[in-house]
Amino acid sequence: MALDNQMLATCEIVKAVANRGHQQIPFPEFNDNLNSKNMDSAYFEITGWPGYIPTPLISLDKLASHCGVASVFYKDESQRLDMKSFKALGGAYAVANLVAKQAAMGVDPESITVTTATDGNHGRSVAWGAQQAGCRAEIYIHEHVSEQRANAMATFGAKVNRIVGNYEDSLAACKADAEANNWHIVSDTSWTGYREIPCDIMAGYSVMGREVVDQLGSARPTHCFLPIGVGGLAAGIVAPLWRAMGADFCRMISVESYMSACFLESVNAQTPQLVDIREETLMAGLSCGEISDLAWEILQPSLHHCLSITDNAIASLMAEFADGTFGGGSIEAGECATAGVAALLAANRDPALWQTLGFSPDSVVLLIGTEGATDPVIYDSMITKGRNS
């Protein structure tokens, strides 16, 4: 199956916003945010986990040729440990740190309960981390999270609580019960007075960015498309790349669903904005209406552009990845993993936006393949739909 304009026609950018707050400066060593110390600590810990290997950085040569750029690289998180998602790096690392600190104060791990709200993959990582650390896990999900994702968390011994409403509603319930029961929240979003654990989670995610730097060798990306929910993943990619590239930092471009574009609206206003989610995107991991304070501190000065996209292309792009259309062989790409390629293809067919984003025949593009088939039932149905469309 070849790349063609018929497929491109299904990719739509709803809104594009240039970041007026962008600063071309060396990597700032944030005081209580991501810095070399906590990123290096996470890298040392995670690379020692049983079964750890860097996930592949795949050259999508056919896609690069189609777009007229030098290369397109895809970080394939479908092969991250046994959880098929970058989320494996963050929640489990934060739980390990939390339990270790409590144990050092004489607290029995079996008396500790960790809790979080999730669309699926983060909760799975927290549940797995709790099982490894010997503590309990209470996971909160909203009504649109699939049964398969709920069951995947329960498999690790977590108690899964389903809440009516959206992600923000499940987070509110999680916070209330944690306060009432003296549980430890392990959230991948931060708020006033809650920073240490989300920073640990982002430090875990930064392992991805460090792997990319090592895998590229002397090469460096000129553009990176960042799928964004609350912003933790994006910050975890930005920080190690920024540290490696300094003031020659590449163009960071955020990609969100138009149904939950909290970062785009925040960048447009140059202050954090809350988006009321009225409809759920198929890219479940991007369905977040409120940004992380920690992530905002890193992304507000570093994002070059923010894009919001429709869901139209998701099934087709998942099928194209599976069929090896973009180059690099067959790739298991979940719904959120299509965000970067959807935005790249849509920008490529818009000459004015392509020029504004600074693409040229020498461009080196980095895409983040956030997850694989974390819900096999949804994945198979989407692939079938994509091939029949």
Do the two domains 5-85+205-388 and 91-187 of this chain adopt the same fold? yes
Give 9's pLDDT tier (boundaries 50, 70, 90). very low
Instruction: Name 33's Cβ contacts closer than 8 Å, sequence gap at least 6.
Output: 195, 199, 294, 297, 298
Catalytic, 87? Answer yes
pLDDT tens for 151-189 read 999 999 999 999 999 888 999 999 999 999 999 999 988
Q: What CATH number labels 5-85+205-388?
A: 3.40.50.1100
Looking at residue 32, what is its pLDDT?
85
267 has a pLDDT exceeding 90: yes
Dist. CA 37–CA 42, nearest whole Å: 9
In this prediction, residue 98 carries a pLDDT of: 97
Q: What is the pLDDT of residues 219-235, one digit of tens each?
A: 999 999 999 999 999 99
Catalytic residue among 75, 84, 87, 175: 87
Q: Of 76, 84, 119, 311, which is the active-site residue?
A: 119
Question: CATH assignment of 91-187?
Answer: 3.40.50.1100
Residue 270 DSSP one-character state = T
What rounded mean pLDDT belongs to the chain? 93
Burial class (CB in 10 A: 0-12, 13-18, 19+), 220: middle
Percent share of the chain, pLDDT over 70: 97
Domain extents for the chain? 5-85+205-388, 91-187
Q: For residue 32, indicate whether it is catalytic.
A: no
Give me the phi and psi of 14, to 5 degrees please. Answer: -80, -40
Q: For the residues 17-36, what does the mean pLDDT come to? A: 91
**Which of 71, 107, 138, 142 shows the shortest CA–CA distance to 367?**
71
